[in-house]
């Protein structure tokens, strides 16, 4: 029991540090990209960030819903990505925590910040003063659209994740296999 608690604390600390670093990187990158583009491109970037959050949320849910049995049969036949899929399912709690909590939550926060930048760009284009009713209406509208797309997208993603968990995790396993085998980027720990 003590080893599980110690392992959980170590993982929680690691995930907090990773979140801090990734949030800082995503925030700086998205802010610097958005400051140099026109508002329509900025809006596209906001929607792209929302999409990333929805996809990673779906991956996390699929990992918790998937059964590893079909992946064992595929791994026995040496099908690329099956071994990685087994690892994902066996470590569903950690995988889901990373996908849902780290990437998903960072995407939500960064999309909010990016939305604010786009609102300021549009308000400036329309000669709306900071804090004016026009800027407030624009901010409310864009925030509501981003929230609706995020929540609606995640709801659809959850349904897909639960009903197609094997396909989704097999696809994730294939992507991990490509990253590790062809691009030599270590994604999953080797144990």
Count Cα atoms within 13 angstroms, Cβ side, for 157: 23
pLDDT at 96: 94
Each residue's pLDDT tens digit in the chain (191 positions)? 777 788 878 888 888 888 888 888 888 888 888 887 888 998 999 999 999 999 999 999 999 999 999 999 999 999 999 999 999 999 999 899 999 989 988 998 889 888 888 888 888 888 777 777 888 888 899 999 999 999 999 999 999 999 999 999 999 999 999 998 888 888 777 65
CA nearest 167: which of 51, 57, 50, 59? 59
CA nearest 51: which of 107, 120, 2? 107
3-class state of residue 81 by DSSP? coil
CA distance 112 to 129: 20
pLDDT at 190: 62
Q: Say if CB 84 and CB 68 are below 8 A apart.
A: no
State the sign of the Cα–Cα–Cα–Cα dihedral 133, 135, 136, 140. positive
pLDDT at 95: 93
CA nearest 37: which of 105, 125, 102, 104? 125
pLDDT at 9: 84
CA nearest 15: which of 90, 104, 101, 106? 101
pLDDT at 83: 94
Q: Residue 93 is encoded by which pair of tokens? A: 């709690």
Q: Say if CB 164 and CB 67 are below 8 A apart.
A: no
């Amino acid at each position: 029991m003590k080893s599980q608690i110690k392992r959980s604390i170590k993982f929680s600390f690691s995930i907090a540090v990773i979140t801090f670093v990734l949030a800082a990187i995503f925030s700086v990158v998205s802010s610097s990209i958005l400051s140099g583009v026109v508002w329509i491109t900025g809006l596209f970037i906001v929607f792209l960030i929302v999409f990333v959050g929805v996809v990673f949320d779906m991956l996390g849910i699929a990992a918790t819903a998937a059964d590893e049995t079909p992946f064992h049969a595929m791994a026995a036949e040496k099908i690329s990505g099956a071994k990685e899929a087994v690892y994902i399912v066996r470590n569903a709690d950690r995988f889901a925590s990373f996908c849902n909590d780290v990437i998903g939550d960072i995407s939500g926060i960064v999309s909010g910040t990016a939305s604010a930048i786009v609102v300021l760009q549009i308000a400036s284009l329309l000669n709306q003063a900071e804090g004016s009713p026009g800027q407030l209406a624009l901010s409310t509208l864009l925030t509501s659209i981003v929230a609706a797309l995020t929540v609606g997208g995640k709801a659809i993603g959850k349904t897909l994740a639960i009903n197609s968990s094997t396909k989704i995790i097999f696809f994730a396993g294939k992507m991990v296999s490509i990253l590790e085998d062809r691009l030599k980027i270590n994604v999953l720990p080797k144990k």
